[in-house]
C-alpha cells in the first residue's frame, strides 16, 4: 500500500539544510558506558507533565452536542468522564479560536475568543472548571507564526503603508521586471515587479502574495490566507504574549506551539536553495533553510518561558519540532540558565518512514533498528531532559495504518498494542490523539468532491489532504453517526469501521486496544518502575525483538519485550547486568508466552508481534 507523505514529514524534509539533505544518516552508535549509567538512574521529580498522558482533541471531530455536525466545547465537557477513566492527565485542544476555517482553525482571526461553531467563552470556562474536577488540565494550541488574512491586524496592515499595523507582517515591494507576463508579475507604484525571491509556500506555490492597495507582496509560509507576522517588530511580540496571558490568567496549563521554528525569516530575503522537486501546483520547492530555525526563535522562546514560569502550577510549553536527529532537540530545551521548551516533540520514533517519507509495502515503518536507536538516543542524548513521544496527530495518517499497513487484521491489532506499549512504558511523557486508543483508522477520501482539507482540494490527486485522520470520534455502534452527533451528516463521514471500532464495543472487553491502553496507563501510574524508573536497553543486537528494563529507586523492576516480527521469537536476556533477578513475578500480555523453567525469563519465546510486560525479581 502506498500512502502520501504527511505534512509534518514534508515539513521535516524541507526544514533540513542543503548539507543535511545530502547526508546519509549515520550508523547506529551505541551509547557510552557513562550515558548508559545516567539513563539507568531513576528520577524523583513529581512535576505533573513529566509523567503525563496528554490527549490531543480535534474539537470539530470529538463530540457534537447541538446537531450541526461539528464537534463543540460542550461535547468535550460531556466526555470528560471517559477521558478521566482512560487515565488522561491533560488534553491539548487544536485551535478553537474564531477563524475563517481555511486551515480549520490554524488561521486565527481573534486570539482571545472562541469560534461560535465551537461555543462561547463561557462554554470554555465551564469546560476548564469541569476538567479540574476530573483532574484533567487543558493545553491550548497557540499559532504564533501567522494570523488569518481576516484578522483585523492584517486587514489594517494590508490597507496602506502608513496604518498602525503597517509593519506587523512581512511586506516587500518586489524586484523590477521587464516581463509583465513573468510568473506572479504585478504592476506596482514603480512599474512591473515580481516577488523578491524564490521562497515557496509549504502549502504549494510562491510564498509571496500581491496586495494592490499597498502595491506590495506579503510573505506566507503556509496558505496565502495565513500571512506571517513580523516578529522583528516588538509590538507583535507584546500582542501575542498578551493573548497568551489572557488564557493563562483563565487557568490553562500551557500551550502547544504550532510551527514554532518558522517565526523568523532571513531579513535580507536571499534566495533559498531549491530541493529539486516541484510541489503539487508545479512550483519549484525551496528548502526553507532561511525561513525556519533561525537563531532569533530561541530568543523569543526564552522570553516566553519566563512568562509561563511566572505562573504557578508548572505551566508547560510543548513545541512542534521536526529535526533529523534526537540530539538536535537539545537546543529547543534551552539551558538551565536560559530554559526554552519543556517538551519539544520527539517525532523521530513515531513518524519515521523509510525511503524519504513515502510508506509502501508491509510494515515499512516497523523498523526495529530505527526504534532501538531512536529510543536509546531519547534516553541518552537529551542530557536528562524529559522526552515527549508522539505516534498520532491531526496531520498524519493514523498509526494503525502506518505501522500495520498490509498486515492481517489480527496482526494489525497486535502491532497497535506494541506501539501503545512503547508510548506508555518508555521514560517519556506520552502524547496521543483521539481515537488512537480504539484503533481508529484513516479514511482518505476517494473522490475530490468529498475533500474538505484545502491541501487535498488544490493538490488532488497527488495530495489527498488530511481528512482521513480527522474523521469524527467513534463512540458507539449506533447509526448514523456513531453517537458523535445527532446529525446524520457530520462535517466528515464517520469511519466505515465504526460498528466494531468504538468506545462502547471495546469497553470492558479483554482483547481490545482500548482495554490494552487503559491497562498500560494504569501500570504506568501504579508501578514506580514505569512511573519514574531508570531505563536499560537489553539484547541490543537482536534483529527481531526490542527489550528493555525499567528499574525504580526501591529496586523493583519491570521488563518490556516486544516482538517486531510475524514469527515466534526466542530471546536470551542477560538480566544480571541490570542488577535485577531473572525471575518474573507477574505478566501482562494478551497471548501465551513460553518462559524458561522455574519462572525464569531466559530463554523467553514471544508470539508474533507480542508485547510482554512483566515484573522482575
Q: What pLDDT, in 10s, does the model give residues 187-198?
A: 999 999 999 999
pLDDT > 80? residue 25: no
Copy the grid coordinates of residue 113. Answer: 475568543
The answer, yes or no, to whether the previous bond of 402 is cis (omega within 30 of 0) is no
What whole-number percentage of the chain has pLDDT above 90? 81
pLDDT-derived band at 9 (thresholds 50, 70, 90) equals: very low
Residue 29 — pLDDT band, cuts 50, 70, 90?
low
How, if at all, do strands 557-563 and 545-551 pair? antiparallel
- Given a cut of 90, whether residue 5 has pLDDT beyond it is no
Torsion, Cα of 482, 483, 487, 493 (10° steps)? -30
Q: Tell me, what DSSP letter sits at residue 476?
A: -
Q: Is 370 left (phi over 0), alpha (psi -120 to 50) or beta?
A: alpha
pLDDT at residue 523 greater than cutoff 50: yes
Name which of 409, 323, 397, 400 is nearest 366 in CA terms: 400
* Cell representation of residue 540: 541490543
C-alpha span between 584 and 617 (Å, rounded) = 6
Interval 86-136: pLDDT, tens: 999 999 999 999 999 999 999 999 999 999 999 999 999 999 999 999 999
Instruction: Read off the pLDDT band of 353 (50, 70, 90).
Output: low
Per the DSSP assignment, residues forming a β-bridge with 389 are 346, 430
pLDDT digits (tens, 9 = 90+) for 211-235: 999 999 999 999 999 999 999 999 9
Banded model confidence at residue 244, pLDDT cuts 50, 70, 90? very high
Q: How many CB atoms lie within 10 A of CB 86?
A: 17
Residues 151-168 have pLDDT tens digits of 999 999 999 999 999 999
pLDDT for 1: 31
Give the closest residue to 58 by CA, choosing from 344, 345, 397, 471. Answer: 471
Q: Please name the residue ranges forming H helices in 362-408.
A: 368-380, 399-404
Distance between CA atoms of 110 and 135, rounded to whole angstroms?
29
pLDDT tens string 545-581: 999 999 999 999 999 999 999 999 999 999 988 889 8
Identify the CATH class of 7-18+47-143+234-264+293-516: alpha beta
Neighbours of 479 (CB within 10 A): 11
Name the catalytic one among 103, 320, 346, 467.
320
The Cα-based distances of 198 to 14, 169, 269, 272, 291 in angstroms read 14, 19, 9, 7, 12
3-class SS at 117? coil
Same fold, 7-18+47-143+234-264+293-516 and 533-616: no
Distance, CA of 381 to CA of 387 (rounded, Å): 10
At 264, list the grid cell: 523568523
Which of 1-5, 9-13, 191-195, 320-324 bottoms out in mean pLDDT, i.e. has the lowest? 1-5
Q: What is the pLDDT of residues 316-349, one digit of tens each?
A: 999 999 888 999 999 999 999 999 999 999 998 8
The whole-angstrom separation of Cα 230 and Cα 210 is 17
**Annotated catalytic residue within 89, 103, 123, 258:** 258
CB count in 10 Å sphere of residue 590: 18
In the block, residue with C-alpha cell 458523535: 484
User: CATH for 533-616, among 3.40.50.720, 2.60.320.10, 2.60.40.1180, 3.10.620.30?
Assistant: 2.60.40.1180
Is residue 508 within 8 A of residue 520, CB to CB? The reply is no
Whether the pLDDT of residue 494 is over 50: the answer is: yes
- Residue 372 gets the label, from left (phi > 0), alpha (psi -120 to 50) or beta, of alpha
The mean pLDDT of the chain is 91
Q: What local confidence, expressed as pLDDT, does residue 81 receive?
A: 98
The packing angle between helices 513-526 and 409-425, to 10°, is 20
**How far apart (Å, rounded) are the C-alpha atoms in residues 462 and 460?**
5
3-state secondary structure of 580: coil
Q: What is the pLDDT of residue 27?
A: 55
320 counts as catalytic:
yes
Give 600's DSSP letter: B
Q: Residue 558 corresponds to which cell in the numbers above?
A: 519491570
Is 258 an active-site residue? yes
Taken in order 403, 3, 104, 257, is the CA torsion positive or negative? positive
What the block records as the C-alpha cell of 329 is 532537540
C-alpha cell at 489: 451528516
pLDDT of residue 431: 98
> How is residue 29 written as a grid cell?
552508535
Residue 126 host element (H or E): helix 121-133
- CA–CA gap between residue 553 and residue 134 (Å, rounded): 30
DSSP structure class, residue 22: H
What was the pLDDT predicted at 2?
33
Bond before 188 cis per omega within 30 degrees: no
Asked if residue 22 has pLDDT above 50, the reply is: no
How do residues 300-318 score in pLDDT, each as one tens digit? 999 999 999 999 999 999 9
The ranges assigned to domains in the chain are: 7-18+47-143+234-264+293-516, 152-219, 533-616
Q: How far apart are CA 603 and CA 601, in angstroms?
A: 6
pLDDT at 149: 98
Q: Please state the CATH superfamily assignment of the domain spanning residues 152-219 in this structure.
A: Oligo-1,6-glucosidase; Domain 2 (3.90.400.10)
Tell me: pLDDT of 28 over 80.
no
Amino acid at each position: 500500500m502506498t500512502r502520501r507523505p504527511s505534512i509534518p514529514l514534508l515539513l521535516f524534509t524541507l526544514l533540513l539544510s542543503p548539507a543535511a539533505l545530502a547526508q546519509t544518516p549515520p550508523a547506529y552508535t551505541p551509547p557510552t558506558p557513562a550515558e548508559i549509567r545516567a539513563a539507568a538512574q531513576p528520577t524523583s521529580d513529581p512535576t505533573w507533565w513529566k509523567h503525563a498522558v496528554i490527549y490531543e482533541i480535534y474539537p470539530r471531530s470529538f463530540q457534537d452536542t447541538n446537531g450541526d455536525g461539528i464537534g463543540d466545547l460542550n461535547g468535550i465537557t460531556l466526555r470528560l468522564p471517559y477521558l478521566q477513566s482512560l487515565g488522561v492527565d491533560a488534553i491539548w485542544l487544536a485551535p478553537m479560536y474564531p477563524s475563517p476555517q481555511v486551515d480549520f482553525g490554524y488561521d486565527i482571526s481573534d486570539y482571545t475568543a472562541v469560534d461560535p461553531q465551537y461555543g462561547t467563552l463561557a462554554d470554555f470556562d465551564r469546560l476548564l472548571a469541569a476538567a479540574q474536577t476530573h483532574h484533567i488540565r487543558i493545553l491550548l494550541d497557540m499559532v504564533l507564526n501567522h494570523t488569518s488574512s481576516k484578522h483585523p491586524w492584517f486587514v489594517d496592515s494590508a490597507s496602506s503603508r502608513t496604518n498602525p499595523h503597517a509593519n506587523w507582517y512581512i511586506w516587500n515591494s518586489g524586484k523590477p521586471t521587464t516581463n509583465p507576463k513573468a510568473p506572479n508579475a504585478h504592476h506596482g507604484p514603480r512599474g512591473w515587479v515580481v516577488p523578491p525571491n524564490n521562497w515557496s509556500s509549504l502549502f504549494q506555490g510562491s510564498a509571496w502574495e500581491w496586495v494592490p492597495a499597498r502595491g506590495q507582496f506579503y510573505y506566507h509560509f503556509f496558505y496565502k490566507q495565513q500571512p506571517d507576522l513580523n516578529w522583528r517588530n516588538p509590538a507583535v511580540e507584546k500582542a501575542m504574549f498578551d493573548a497568551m496571558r489572557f488564557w493563562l490568567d483563565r487557568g490553562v496549563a500551557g500551550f502547544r506551539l504550532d510551527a514554532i521554528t518558522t517565526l523568523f525569516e532571513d531579513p535580507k530575503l536571499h534566495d533559498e536553495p531549491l530541493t529539486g522537486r516541484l510541489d503539487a501546483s508545479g512550483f519549484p520547492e525551496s528548502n526553507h533553510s532561511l525561513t525556519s530555525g533561525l537563531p532569533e526563535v530561541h530568543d523569543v522562546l526564552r522570553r516566553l518561558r519566563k512568562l509561563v514560569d511566572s505562573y504557578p502550577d508548572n505551566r508547560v510549553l510543548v513545541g512542534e519540532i521536526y529535526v533529523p536527529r534526537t540530539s538536535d532537540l537539545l537546543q529547543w530545551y534551552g539551558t538551565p540558565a536560559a530554559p526554552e521548551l519543556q517538551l519539544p516533540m520527539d517525532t523521530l520514533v513515531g513518524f519515521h518512514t523509510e525511503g524519504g517519507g513515502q510508506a509502501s509495502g508491509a510494515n515499512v515503518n516497523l523498523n526495529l533498528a530505527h526504534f532501538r536507536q531512536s529510543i536509546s538516543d531519547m534516553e541518552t542524548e537529551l542530557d536528562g531532559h524529559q522526552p515527549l513521544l508522539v505516534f498520532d496527530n491531526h496531520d498524519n495518517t493514523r498509526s494503525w495504518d502506518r505501522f500495520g499497513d498490509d498486515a492481517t487484521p489480527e496482526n494489525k491489532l497486535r502491532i497497535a498494542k506494541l506501539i501503545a506499549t512503547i508510548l506508555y512504558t518508555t521514560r517519556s511523557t506520552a502524547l496521543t490523539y483521539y481515537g488512537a486508543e480504539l484503533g481508529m483508522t484513516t479514511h482518505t477520501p476517494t473522490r475530490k468532491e468529498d475533500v474538505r482539507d484545502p491541501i487535498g482540494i488544490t493538490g488532488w490527486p497527488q495530495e489527498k489532504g488530511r481528512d482521513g485522520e480527522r474523521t469524527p470520534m467513534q463512540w458507539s455502534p449506533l447509526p448514523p453517526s456513531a453517537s458523535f452527533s445527532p446529525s446524520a451528516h457530520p462535517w466528515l463521514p464517520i469511519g466505515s469501521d465504526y460498528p466494531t471500532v468504538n468506545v462502547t464495543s471495546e469497553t470492558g472487553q479483554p482483547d481490545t486496544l482500548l482495554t490494552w491502553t487503559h491497562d498500560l496507563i494504569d501500570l504506568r501510574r501504579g508501578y514506580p518502575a514505569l512511573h519514574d524508573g531508570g531505563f536499560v536497553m537489553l539484547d541490543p543486537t537482536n534483529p527481531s525483538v526490542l527489550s528493555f528494563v525499567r528499574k525504580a529507586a526501591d529496586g523493583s523492576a519491570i521488563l518490556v519485550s516486544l516482538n517486531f516480527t510475524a514469527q515466534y521469537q526466542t530471546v536470551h536476556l542477560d538480566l544480571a547486568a541490570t542488577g535485577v533477578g531473572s525471575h518474573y513475578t507477574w505478566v501482562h500480555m494478551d497471548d501465551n508466552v513460553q518462559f524458561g523453567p522455574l519462572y525464569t525469563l531466559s530463554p523467553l519465546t514471544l508470539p508474533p508481534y507480542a508485547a510482554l510486560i512483566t515484573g522482575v525479581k
